[in-house]
Protein backbone atom coordinates (compact mmCIF):
# COMPACT_ATOMS: atom_id res chain seq x y z
CA UNK A 1 0.00 0.00 0.00
CA UNK A 2 2.67 2.49 1.01
CA UNK A 3 5.52 2.00 -1.38
CA UNK A 4 8.07 4.72 -2.07
CA UNK A 5 7.82 6.07 -5.58
CA UNK A 6 10.86 7.64 -7.18
CA UNK A 7 9.91 9.83 -10.12
CA UNK A 8 11.80 9.09 -13.32
CA UNK A 9 12.76 11.90 -15.68
CA UNK A 10 12.84 10.38 -19.20
CA UNK A 11 14.34 13.46 -20.87
CA UNK A 12 16.77 15.95 -19.35
CA UNK A 13 15.46 19.49 -19.06
CA UNK A 14 17.38 22.66 -19.82
CA UNK A 15 20.55 23.10 -21.84
CA UNK A 16 23.78 21.39 -20.85
CA UNK A 17 26.50 23.65 -19.49
CA UNK A 18 29.97 23.05 -21.00
CA UNK A 19 32.83 22.48 -18.56
CA UNK A 20 35.43 25.28 -18.42
CA UNK A 21 38.79 24.45 -19.94
CA UNK A 22 41.87 25.14 -17.77
CA UNK A 23 44.41 27.69 -19.01
CA UNK A 24 47.61 26.26 -20.46
CA UNK A 25 50.56 26.23 -18.07
CA UNK A 26 52.93 27.92 -20.57
CA UNK A 27 51.00 31.24 -20.34
CA UNK A 28 51.67 31.65 -16.61
CA UNK A 29 54.76 33.70 -15.72
CA UNK A 30 56.36 33.61 -12.27
CA UNK A 31 56.13 36.81 -10.26
CA UNK A 32 59.11 37.84 -8.18
CA UNK A 33 58.74 40.16 -5.22
CA UNK A 34 61.39 41.85 -3.19
CA UNK A 35 60.97 41.64 0.57
CA UNK A 36 60.27 44.96 2.27
CA UNK A 37 61.74 45.67 5.68
CA UNK A 38 59.21 45.58 8.48
CA UNK A 39 58.62 48.95 10.10
CA UNK A 40 57.16 49.12 13.59
CA UNK A 41 53.73 50.73 13.56
CA UNK A 42 53.77 51.57 17.28
CA UNK A 43 56.33 52.82 19.71
CA UNK A 44 58.01 50.19 21.85
CA UNK A 45 56.79 49.91 25.44
CA UNK A 46 59.60 50.05 27.96
CA UNK A 47 58.96 48.80 31.47
CA UNK A 48 60.70 50.44 34.37
CA UNK A 49 61.20 48.45 37.58
CA UNK A 50 58.36 50.37 39.23
CA UNK A 51 55.91 49.75 36.39
CA UNK A 52 56.89 46.07 36.22
CA UNK A 53 56.19 45.75 39.95
CA UNK A 54 52.82 47.49 39.54
CA UNK A 55 51.95 45.21 36.63
CA UNK A 56 52.82 42.09 38.65
CA UNK A 57 50.80 43.34 41.64
CA UNK A 58 47.81 44.09 39.39
CA UNK A 59 48.01 40.62 37.83
CA UNK A 60 48.17 39.01 41.25
CA UNK A 61 45.15 41.00 42.41
CA UNK A 62 43.17 39.90 39.35
CA UNK A 63 44.05 36.25 40.01
CA UNK A 64 42.96 36.56 43.65
CA UNK A 65 39.65 38.23 42.76
CA UNK A 66 38.80 35.69 40.05
CA UNK A 67 39.74 32.83 42.40
CA UNK A 68 37.54 34.23 45.17
CA UNK A 69 34.58 34.54 42.79
CA UNK A 70 35.00 30.99 41.52
CA UNK A 71 35.33 29.55 45.03
CA UNK A 72 32.23 31.41 46.20
CA UNK A 73 30.25 30.10 43.22
CA UNK A 74 31.38 26.55 43.99
CA UNK A 75 30.42 27.00 47.63
CA UNK A 76 26.98 28.29 46.64
CA UNK A 77 26.39 25.24 44.45
CA UNK A 78 27.53 22.89 47.24
CA UNK A 79 25.23 24.53 49.81
CA UNK A 80 22.30 24.40 47.40
CA UNK A 81 22.90 20.71 46.71
CA UNK A 82 23.10 19.87 50.40
CA UNK A 83 19.89 21.76 51.18
CA UNK A 84 18.04 20.01 48.35
CA UNK A 85 19.23 16.65 49.68
CA UNK A 86 17.92 17.48 53.18
CA UNK A 87 14.58 18.63 51.77
CA UNK A 88 14.30 15.39 49.76
CA UNK A 89 14.86 13.29 52.90
CA UNK A 90 12.28 15.28 54.87
CA UNK A 91 9.70 15.01 52.07
CA UNK A 92 10.32 11.27 51.81
CA UNK A 93 9.70 10.85 55.52
CA UNK A 94 6.52 12.93 55.33
CA UNK A 95 5.17 10.92 52.39
CA UNK A 96 5.97 7.63 54.19
CA UNK A 97 4.12 8.85 57.31
CA UNK A 98 1.11 9.90 55.21
CA UNK A 99 0.95 6.49 53.54
CA UNK A 100 1.01 4.69 56.90
CA UNK A 101 -1.96 6.77 58.04
CA UNK A 102 -0.46 8.44 61.09
Residues 19-26 have a mean pLDDT of: 72
Residues 48-72 have a mean pLDDT of: 93
Contact predicate 55/47, CB 8 Å: yes
Distance of alpha carbon 52 from alpha carbon 56, whole angstroms? 6
pLDDT, the chain, mean: 84
pLDDT, position 102: 60
Per residue, the 3-state secondary structure of 14-81, as one string, reads CCCCCCCCCCCHHHCCCCCCCCCCCCCCCCCCCCCHHHHHHHHHHHHHHHHHHHHHHHHHHHHHHHHH
Under the banding of pLDDT at 50, 70 and 90, the label for residue 28 is low
Amino acid sequence: MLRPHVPVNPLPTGTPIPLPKPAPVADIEPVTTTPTPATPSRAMVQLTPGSALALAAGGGAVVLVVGAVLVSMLLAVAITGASIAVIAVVLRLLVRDMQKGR
